Amino acid sequence: MNQTSTTTVRNGVDTATMFATLDALKAKPKIATFRFRAHNQWIDGAHNRSTIRDFYAAGGEDTSRTSAFALDAGEPAILLGTDTGPDAAEFLLHALAACVTTSLVYSAAARGVRLTSVSSELEGEMDVRGALEVSDDCRNGFSRIRMTVRISGDAPPEKLRAVLQCGRARSAVFDTVTNGVPVDLDLVTD
């Protein structure tokens, strides 16, 4: 990636700020540690809501967001819900699409590629018998996720393919989904 600083805003990304951020992270690796958080509250049935606001970044608590994001989740009626929001597996597909898209947009901006369109289609295949305790022979989660990305821009197909591959390689959610991550689960009772 060319680290030449410029004042160009490309694909909605201020590349001068992006390169300055990358330089700061190289100079002070300790500021690269982030802790993102979500708080979830059960509402009723399959309906629950996560709120996301503050996080730890660049050596301290970041409280720059003036209000929390609220994400309602639920289940479709066929899975005993009332469609109060996407189910958690659908949120995972959204997170994967959003992270790969953001990563490839940043990669394109850094490489001087102007994008005109980015869209993706995702499909996760799951046998719900595992999650519903009907069968121990089925895993609880997706057995396969398919993602198709369509990109248009001012670069030849091979450069757009390279931008996509960098987006994939740099996506935190793609890495988490494909490589797994330890999850500590604690219980607090009232």
* pLDDT tens digits along 113-171: 999 999 999 999 999 888 888 888 988 899 999 999 999 999 999 999 999 999 999 99
What does each C-alpha distance from 62 to 32, 39, 115, 121 come to in angstroms?
A: 13, 16, 31, 33
CATH of domain 11-85: 3.30.300.20
The reply to whether domains 11-85 and 87-179 share a CATH topology is yes
Global confidence as pTM:
0.86
Domain 87-179 class, CATH top level: alpha beta
Q: pLDDT of 25-83, one tens digit each?
A: 888 888 888 898 999 999 999 899 999 999 898 888 998 999 999 999 999 988 888 99
Which residues have C-beta within 8 Å of that of residue 124, sequence separation ≥ 6? 89, 92, 93, 142, 144, 145, 146
Query: 3-class DSSP state for residue 189?
Result: coil
Q: Where are the domains of the chain?
A: 11-85, 87-179
Neighbouring-strand partners of residue 14: 9
The pLDDT score that the predictor gives to residue 103 is 95
| Helix spans in the chain (H) | 15-27, 88-110, 157-170, 172-179
**How many residues in the chain?**
190
The DSSP result for 60-103, as a single string, is EEE---SS-EEEEE---GGGT---SS--HHHHHHHHHHHHHHHH
Q: What is the pLDDT of residues 3-16, one digit of tens each?
A: 444 458 888 888 88
Any idea what the Cα angle at residue 164 is, between residues 162 and 165, rounded to 5°? 65
Residue 93 · residue 126 · CB < 8 Å:
no
Give the side-chain half-sphere CA count within 13 A for 60. Answer: 3
For residue 48, give both structure tokens: 């629950």
Contacts of 27 (CB under 8 A, 6+ apart): none
